[in-house]
Amino acid sequence: MSSLATRRNLISAGVVVVAVAAIIALSVFLFRPADAAKGDPVEAGVPVALSAANVPADTRLGVVVTLGSGSGAAWKDAAQGAAVAAHRFTLSGTPIALSTADDRGTAEGARKAVEKLVSEGVAGIIVATDGEQVDGALEAAADAGVPVILPYYDGKIEAEGAAWRTAPTGAQVSKALAAALAGAKRPLLIDAGGGAPDSVDVDSSISFAPGADPEELAADVARRTGVAEPAKADGTPGRTPVADPADAILLSGNPTQQATVVHALQSAKVTVPLVLTPGATSPAFASGLAQAGGTVSGRLSTVGANAGDAAALRPDDSGRAMSGFLAGLRVLAQDKEAKNLTGDMAFSEVANAADSRSHDAVVALVRAVSTAGSNDPAKVAKALGTLKPGPADGIAGPALDFTRPDAMDGDPVVLHFSAQDLGLRPTATGDGATASWFARPSAD
């Protein structure tokens, strides 16, 4: 019975991968980028500019990022979606200025980053990072009475004040991970620094600390998943597989560690399904996997908001909204004067990592400023708490409901990894730039 169930799971996974690949291949034809045709970079009918009434001309928003290699740095390029949103409003005659501050990956740095932004008169702040330092940012923002949106953070929100999370909560993530592993009888957890997700049952676990030997880990995992170890260099036979091998792997850790482990497992020919925690949706994972020499595989999955580029293929308002974000991204990438959030490189160099989640955070704050008719932070916070923005408002990802602190409308979905290029972004210039996460086709 167990063998039959395993075969059914493998067949089901294969069907999903084939279906996703077919959709992506079709999209390359249907959504061919205009720069490939040497014409207007915006596809006909796609709304690039976003308009908003009653927005004061001096409106400024803040963005907190983590530069360097500290906790939360995996999202610094994803945060560039904020620049796309600001530019789209500017195109309609509603200039939105952005100020950026580095939290240096520490709580004290996060507090100072928020204080800097507050001193510059921001109406609201997007904390585009995750990690324990976020508490420092939330405390400083609450003290200053400035509203905060968290597009990537799934931890607990300790500080009282006007803070809204647009990412899935930790509880939602755990529930989705459990669902993603539902077909497995003996899942193995590889804890690469992320701990064991709550409410996710695993049959066994193994730890992988920073600096440990990934090849040694992979050899052990291979044996635990039914793959015989190869003979040693001196001819000594490798260890035989365990009697009841694991039939799936849950990998928990920061994106860089996840990329290191995935590459090692691929090299060791581990073929069981591999479910990653949501940090894998950051640009840092795809880049790290490519740099390590790993392969983008349909057997890799994670969970998260359906906020990837493939949402643009949906024949509805949400698909049109995502198309608008991507069209705006292409327009900004073609502007030779456009810079990234920190102003130290051309936007075109980070365009392939710019994320719709940070874009939507800016859109939401601008809608709140518009509703308030003011960029006073207290009035913006009050207005934001009444809003339920969706595709018609320019939200490219899932609709949002700011009448509650956890604002994402709906639950996270299973996402699959693919190297197929949808052709909706500028030509890739960096490692892993074309790799994307796609939601399971709804017809499955």
Q: Name every residue whose Cβ is closer than 8 Å to that of residue 231 and which is 6 or more positions away in sequence.
A: 237, 238
Q: Is the pLDDT of residue 357 over 50?
A: yes
pLDDT of residue 8: 41
Is 244 a member of any domain?
Answer: yes
User: What would the two tokens of residue 241 be?
Assistant: 């597989």
At residue 4, does pLDDT exceed 70?
no
pLDDT at 92: 95
Tell me the per-residue pLDDT of 137-174, one tens digit each, with 9 for 90 and over: 999 999 999 999 999 998 888 766 789 999 999 999 99
In this structure, the answer to whether residues 154 and 175 fall within a common structural domain is no
Give the model's confidence band at 50: pLDDT under 50 very low, under 70 low, under 90 confident, else very high. very high
Work out the pLDDT band at 442, boundaries 50, 70, 90.
low
User: Does one domain contain both 296 and 391?
Assistant: no
Specify the pLDDT at position 13.
Answer: 42
Domain match, 267 and 221 both: yes
φ, ψ at 372 (rounded to 5°): -75, -25
**What number is the average pLDDT over the span 407-425?**
87
User: What is the pLDDT, as a whole number, of residue 362?
Assistant: 98
Strands 300-304, 248-253: pairing is: unpaired
* Pairing mode, strands 163-165 and 248-253: unpaired
- 243 found inside a domain: yes
Residue 35 located in a structural domain: no
pLDDT at residue 74 in the model: 95
Q: Is 278 helix (H, G, I), strand (E, B) or coil?
A: helix
Asked if the model's pLDDT at residue 433 lies above 80, the reply is no
What is the C-alpha to C-alpha distance for residues 387 and 403, in angstroms, rounded to an integer?
A: 7
State the number of CA atoms in the 13 A half-sphere of 274 facing the CB: 27
Confidence at residue 441, expressed as pLDDT on a 0 to 100 scale: 59
pLDDT, greater one: 3 or 434: 434
- Summarised one tens digit per residue, pLDDT across range 180-215 is 999 899 999 999 988 888 889 999 999 999 889 999
What confidence score (pLDDT) does residue 136 get?
A: 95
CATH number reported for the structural domain that contains residue 158 in this entry: 3.40.50.2300
**Is position 326 within any domain?**
no
Q: Which residue has the higher pLDDT, 190 or 436?
A: 190
Check whether residue 270 and residue 122 sit in a common domain. no
- Domain-located, residue 196: yes
Residue 148's closest CA among 131, 130, 128?
A: 128
Question: Are 293 and 398 in a shared domain?
Answer: no
Question: In the chain, what percentage of residues exceed pLDDT 70?
Answer: 86
192 and 274 share one domain: yes
Task: Indicate whether 146 and 221 sit together in one domain.
Answer: no
The pLDDT-based confidence of 428 (bands split at 50, 70, 90) is low
Position 196 scores a pLDDT of: 86
Q: What pLDDT was estimated at residue 155?
A: 86
Task: Verify that 260 and 344 share a domain, yes or no.
Answer: no
Query: Residues near 238 by Cβ (< 8 Å), separated by ≥ 6?
Result: 219, 223, 228, 229, 230, 231, 232
149 and 124 in contact (C-beta within 8 Å)? Answer: yes
Q: What total of structural domains would you count in the chain? A: 2
- Whether 189 and 272 share a structural domain: yes
Quick one: pLDDT at residue 434? 59
pLDDT of residue 317: 92
* pTM of the complete model: 0.87
What confidence score (pLDDT) does residue 423 get? Answer: 80
Question: In this structure, is residue 429 part of a structural domain?
Answer: yes
Same domain as 279, residue 198 = yes
Which pLDDT band, with edges at 50, 70 and 90, does 388 fall under? very high
Does the residue 52 lie in any domain?
no
User: Is residue 15's pLDDT more than 70?
Assistant: no
Q: Which domain holds residue 262?
A: 1-30+169-304+412-444
